[in-house]
Amino acid sequence: MPNPLLLFILQPMSIPFFYKKDIAQTDTVVFLDEDTSKHVVQVLRMQNEELIRLTDGVGTIFTCEITDNHRKKCVVNVIEKTSIPLPVTNVCIAISPVKNNSRYEWFLEKATEIGVRQIIPLICERTEKQHFKWERMNAILISAMLQSQQAWLPVLQEPQKFATCVSNNTISQKLIAHCITEENKKTIAQLVLQPNEAIMMIIGPEGDFSSAEIELALANQFIPVSLGETRLRTETAGIVAATLLVNRT
């Protein structure tokens, strides 16, 4: 997995784009870390007076001019700041990790590209036991943010137990997608959702939620929804839900 600080967008006539979380709004001079400096100077062979863009991941893009193209401690001057508004849709996907880490990483990447604002690894009764590598997973979010030219990095929470997640949150619009057949399930398109309020969708592990977990979710005002006529893998269900919720009208 490449260092996320080295990830950038480089298309014809575009300006390379990097992530640096610790830029202050008042900074006029920024010192790049060694990894980023090497990439700018040695890989891209950029010279003084050329431009790069940096984002802090919380809505600001800094256009910067290289003033000292040192390969270990490159220095840039901030010449312009652009504030990117927070997206209108505020979608949180709480989704169980799966046995195959690469599939979960694929979900994280695509959910970021789609525009999900928060992701919670959800530890359920049937979740496969594994060590959740938060730093690696967050690096995937950074990579996807840069690849999709965004300035807002989704918040990746530490793993939460199911009971904690469904019982201790302040989100008013809460949905659960499970595989137990119920005649009263609605599709997301059929629900009346408030467009400017946060919404949470919980997605279970391979093998689905247990009956006790579903009952607990329903007792905490989660609404059961259908994501289609076919049974979906965990990560596929997460992407379907993310797409429908982020792009709802």
CATH code, 155: 3.40.1280.10
Kindly state whether residues 119 and 204 are assigned to the same domain: yes
Give residue 18's pLDDT.
94
68 lies in the same domain as 128 = no
**pLDDT value of residue 169:** 85
Which one, of 100, 74, 102, lies nearest residue 1 by Cα? Answer: 102
- Predicted local confidence at residue 130, as pLDDT: 75
Return all residues near 192 (Cβ < 8 A) that are at least 6 apart: none
How wide is the angle at C-alpha 94 spanned by C-alphas 88 and 99, nearest 5°? 135
pLDDT at 182: 65
Do 45 and 106 sit in the same domain of this protein? no
How far is Cα 45 from Cα 119, in angstroms, rounded to an integer? 36
Are residues 65 and 153 both part of a single domain? Answer: no
Number of domains in the chain: 2
pLDDT 10s per residue in the chain (249 long)?
545 445 544 444 489 999 998 899 999 999 998 988 999 999 999 999 999 999 999 999 999 999 999 999 999 999 999 999 998 899 999 999 999 999 999 999 999 999 999 999 999 999 987 788 999 999 999 999 999 999 999 999 999 999 999 998 889 899 999 877 666 788 888 888 887 889 999 999 999 999 999 999 999 999 999 998 888 999 999 999 999 999 986
Per DSSP, which regions of the chain are E strands?
A: 17-19, 29-31, 51-55, 60-68, 75-83, 91-95, 118-123, 155-156, 160-161, 173-177, 186-187, 199-203, 223-226
Looking at the fold, whether 182 and 227 belong to one and the same domain comes out as yes
Parallel/antiparallel/unpaired status of strands 199-203 and 223-226: unpaired
pTM for the predicted model, two decimal places: 0.88
CB 184 within 8 A of CB 78: no
pLDDT at 129: 79
Q: Determine the straight-line distance between the first and last CA of the chain, rounded to whole angstroms.
A: 36
pLDDT, residue 183, reads: 61
Give the Cα separation of 111 and 82 in Å (integer): 24
Which domain-ending residue is among 50, 83, 116?
Answer: 83
Question: Final residue of a domain: which of 57, 83, 109?
Answer: 83
Do residues 147 and 97 both lie within one domain? yes
Cβ atoms within 10 Å of 89's Cβ, excluding its own:
19
Same domain, 162 and 70: no
Distance CA 236, CA 45 (A): 40
Q: Are residues 23 and 133 in the same domain?
A: no
CA neighbours closer than 13 Å in the CB half-sphere of residue 20:
25
Q: Which two tokens stand for residue 162?
A: 């199911």
Whether 95 and 216 map to the same domain: the answer is yes
CATH number at residue 36: 2.40.240.20
Do 79 and 101 reside in the same domain of the chain?
Answer: no
The number of CA neighbours under 13 Å toward the Cβ of 150 is: 22
Same domain, 76 and 103: no
Whether 101 and 214 share a structural domain: yes
Q: Which domain holds residue 187?
A: 91-246
Last residue of a domain, one of 27, 57, 83: 83
